[in-house]
Structure 1
Amino acid sequence: MHLTDAFAPVGHHKLIFGGPVGAGKTTAIGAASDIPPLRTEAPILGGPGQSRPLTGAVLDYGAMTLGDGCTLHLYGTPGRERFDFMWELLAEDALALILLIDNSRPDALDQLHFHLGAFSRFIRDTALSVGITHCDLGGGLTLDDYQAELERAGFGCVPVFVVDPRCRRDVCLLIEAALSVLDPVARA
């Protein structure tokens, strides 16, 4: 991955991936990581009709080596709200949030608003990019719908993309978009 010339990281840096259960955080970190990712998944204890046998329980971790030799650490937050205590811990000293939203969910905009609220202070101090996943599975929302919601919530100039979390190129696009809006002087 090549970062824009405006961002020159030194040493080690950290990004977090957030979003609801099933949005693709674990998959995205696995796709982008240059090392075998660490996954802390646990069985889902839910009612009938669970479409997934496992969910992220504590965190996911991967790492990328950037063009200048620096390491970008990738942390995935657990999607279940009962693990929200981990969100703030993982966000500490991170450069940006990569927010993944599952477009096939009927409450996709509610999930967007929930996570914007949960990470509001962090986002305002750092950067954000939004990846819309599972567009192939249905859902009538468009990128314009998400951008309009972000603007209504006071997050106007946020990069939003349709992504396949299995595709390294798509995940790297989200990462580069978030990093490109950082002020390199403020982060030095």
Structure 2
Amino acid sequence: MAEHVILFAGPMGAGKTTAVEALSEIEMVRTEAGNTDRETADKATTTVALDYGEITLDEEDKVRLYGVPGQKRFDFMWSILKERARGLILLVHNDAPDSIDQMIEYLDEFAELDARGGVVIGVTRSDLELGPPLDDYSAALRLRRPELVVPVYTVDPRDQDQMRTMLMTLIANIEIRAMLAPRSTRPAGGAA
């Protein structure tokens, strides 16, 4: 059985908890506390350690879904959760004044996940306010991180089908890269 560990990262309020909940087949584990940073995201609670869920793709593949806290003050959890992860779903909310810069900052912070497996980007909250068009995210990636080949989607983290499309794109990318890697750099036990 292949096991994939996937992180969901991005700024507070981008939809990480919601995305993990939309995908998880088990009751999700949450570590939330009252939000004391209402200026950044006007929501009652925020993740302070992790969110956890699981999904089985077929008889052979299980995916462990970890949502990391969005606030930099909890970045010690990022380091812990990055160790086993093979891929990253990065969510950024389009209505933030600096959403493209936030995307680049998170890509820099989680760069080893692209090197180890893969990354996909989901732009959330595109329907709420005017923000950059999707092409601006791709253009920023080409300009500021030209070595990355990263799919960028507009997504609603509440929509299980959209989130599953992102997840399956990431898993396919991870598995293809594992197959193409020289034998000496392949992870033990297959693509997991």
TM-score for the superposition, normalised by structure 1: 0.89
1:11-30 Cα offsets, whole Å, 9 max, x none, are 42210000000000000000
Alpha-carbon distance between aligned partners in 1 of 2:104 and 2:6, rounded to the nearest angstrom: 20
Report deviation, 1:47. 5.7
Matched, 1:137 2:128: yes
Question: Which residue does 1:31 correspond to in 2?
Answer: 22
1:68-112 Cα offsets, whole Å, 9 max, x none, are 243210000100000011112111121200000000111101111
Give matches, 1:16-165, under 5 Å: 16-46=7-37, 51-152=42-143, 153-165=145-157
Alpha-carbon distance between aligned partners in 2 of 1:47 and 1:108, rounded to the nearest angstrom: 17
Distance change (3 Å), C-alpha of 1:120 and 1:167: same
Report deviation, 1:50. 5.7
Find the residue that maps to 1:151 and give its secondary structure: helix
Name which of 146, 163, 170 aligns with 2:162.
170
Identity among equivalent pairs (%): 38
Question: Which residue does 1:5 correspond to in 2?
Answer: none
Alpha-carbon distance between aligned partners in 2 of 1:146 and 1:24, rounded to the nearest angstrom: 18
1:118-140 Cα offsets, whole Å, 9 max, x none, are 11233222200000000011133
Runs of at least 5 residues in structure 2 that lack an aligned partner in the other structure: 180-185
Alpha-carbon RMSD across the aligned residues, in angstroms, is 1.7
Residue identity matched to 2:81: L
Tell me if the contact between 1:24 and 1:100 (Cα under 8 Å) persists in the aligned partners. Answer: yes
Tell me if the contact between 1:64 and 1:73 (Cα under 8 Å) persists in the aligned partners. Answer: yes
Find the residue that maps to 1:181 and give its secondary structure: helix
Alpha-carbon distance between aligned partners in 2 of 1:115 and 1:109, rounded to the nearest angstrom: 10
Residue identity matched to 1:180: A
Question: Which residue does 1:6 correspond to in 2?
Answer: none
TM-score for the superposition, normalised by structure 2: 0.87
Residue identity matched to 1:86: M
Residue-pair matches, total: 179
Alpha-carbon distance between aligned partners in 2 of 1:97 and 1:124, rounded to the nearest angstrom: 11
Runs of at least 5 residues in structure 1 that lack an aligned partner in the other structure: 1-9
Report deviation, 1:48. 6.8
Find the residue that maps to 1:101 and give its secondary structure: strand
Alpha-carbon distance between aligned partners in 2 of 1:131 and 1:155, rounded to the nearest angstrom: 19
